[in-house]
Structure 1
């Protein structure tokens, strides 16, 4: 289902906080520039896995979805400012983020990977320790405000870290040789490799799961304001049911070709 975007400007100017609390409506913050998780086109339509999860939730809760596109690093401040009700944007659950907002149960998880030129000495590595050692002194691109940025800062202090506001800008620099490697979840980088600009690049065959380091989070969850405990309880119940009945898995196969759903504990 294609969902129309409500711009942040329109939301602030025309709807206000009363609309956010309107009965039967759920306002969802998402990045809109992180395929295949969340994509917003020029006409204001949001598609992707995040949109499908949002739509599944709204159907389960008998609510109407409205998506608000917001830069990823501004999603948590905007949620705390009550500009929307929840965040659904491929956001990993981390201890640092949990200090500011609550999260639903984790409903998905995907491996994190590096992409490098096929000619790179890193391209043939298959174990994590040699990969981390080999990245020393390299310039690595990540998206601002992500768990990938925190992982590099924590585990690879000798790396020249370069941050980007969008995945597209990072991929442009990778394609033009301004960075030696890019680090993101495998699904997002797969989209780059499928493009003409990605023909001379490949994954390093090392999948880094969140269990490897706490900085990579505890799976993907819905971000919810700390005071909104009633909504969290409803979303947790709905997500567990949607994972259990295969709905989230089916949506993930549609976008990622694999089931990345994460069962409730």
Structure 2
């Protein structure tokens, strides 16, 4: 499934504002976080979240388009009504819920570190040893993510390096400018599958969101706090799409496993 990009600048230039009551739904996404969302040169957004967006739009009987925005600008842009929802691999956290609302969680993945093969981090098997071993290490994370907040809390003596995009972080990892990178396992697998990742490996410690609240409560659709009608409709639609296997099928396409999160 593919949805056309409407660039943020063009979106602002025509003075459009978010309006759920109409026939269209504007979806904010980063577009640079494979395999969740990827924006290509032809003007398409693909990835797991693009498929989730398309499924939702079909269920809601809405025409949809993506608005591409840097990840750390997604919440401010949603609050400014530049789009209706965020679908961008965004974890549900207590801090974010102070600013926006979320749908039910629709997916969940383990979080992991990648480090050079043979490094002192590579062979670690337990989380406490791993977090302690990050002292003084240059660790890359994407800015504004739960991964950054987690390391600020749990590894305060690490030399945290933040990046606007996953690609920027991976370039520094491949060139040796950082000692490790921390993200969700699917995003880092994409790096390991590339030639630049051949000399790197996962640290064999999977950190689930249940380990620490700063890692969130699964992945959800971001919605403005005052848009209660949209939240109710999206929650209902997502639960139906999860129950009938549609979200699981989409996740198997992109992650080779079912990462859908059942509605409670």
TM-score of the aligned structures, taking structure 2 as reference length: 0.98
What is aligned with 2:97?
Answer: 98
Distance 1:62 1:25 in 2: 9
CA-CA distance at 1:43 after TM superposition: 1.6
In the other structure, the counterpart of 2:250 is: 251
1:1-265 matches, cutoff 5 A? 1-17=1-17, 20-21=19-20, 23-265=22-264
Per-residue deviation, 1:20: 3.8
In structure 1, list runs of 5 or more residues that go unmatched. none
Runs of 4+ in structure 1 off by over 6 angstroms are none
Q: Deviations over 1:97-148 (max 9, x none)?
A: 0000000000100000000000211111111111111111111000000000
Q: Distance in 1 between matches of 2:101 and 2:55?
A: 20
Give the secondary structure class of the aligned counterpart of 2:214. Answer: helix
Tell me the TM-score normalised to structure 1 length: 0.98
The answer to which of 190-199 and 126-135 deviates more is: 126-135
Deviation track 1:210-241 (CA, whole Å, cap 9, x = no partner) reads 00000000000000000100000000000001
Helix, strand or coil at the partner of 1:113: strand
Contact 2:25 2:84 in 1 (8 A): yes
> Following TM superposition, by how much is the alpha carbon of 1:15 offset from its aligned partner in structure 2, in angstroms?
4.7
Structure 1: distance between partners of 2:212 and 2:2: 36
Shift of 1:64: 0.8
Question: Take 2:161 and 2:15, find their aligned partners in 1: how far apart are those partners?
Answer: 37
1:150-209 superposed Cα distances (whole Å, 9 cap, x missing partner): 000000000000000000000000000000000000000000000000000000011000
Alpha-carbon distance between aligned partners in 2 of 1:67 and 1:27, rounded to the nearest angstrom: 6
Q: CA RMSD in A?
A: 0.9
Q: Which sits farther off after the overlay, 127-136 or 250-259?
A: 127-136
Instruction: Provide the C-alpha distance between the structure 1 equivalents of 2:229 and 2:2, rounded to a whole number of angstroms.
Output: 28
CA contact (8 A) 1:20 1:83 kept: no
User: Is the contact made by 1:242 and 1:248 (CA closer than 8 Å) also made in structure 2?
Assistant: yes
Separation (CA, whole Å) in 1 of partners of 2:238 and 2:3: 20
Q: Distance in 1 between matches of 2:12 and 2:192?
A: 38
Q: How far apart, in 1, do the equivalents of 2:167 and 2:118 lie?
A: 22
Q: How many correspondences in the alignment?
A: 264
Q: Distance in 1 between matches of 2:180 and 2:145?
A: 16
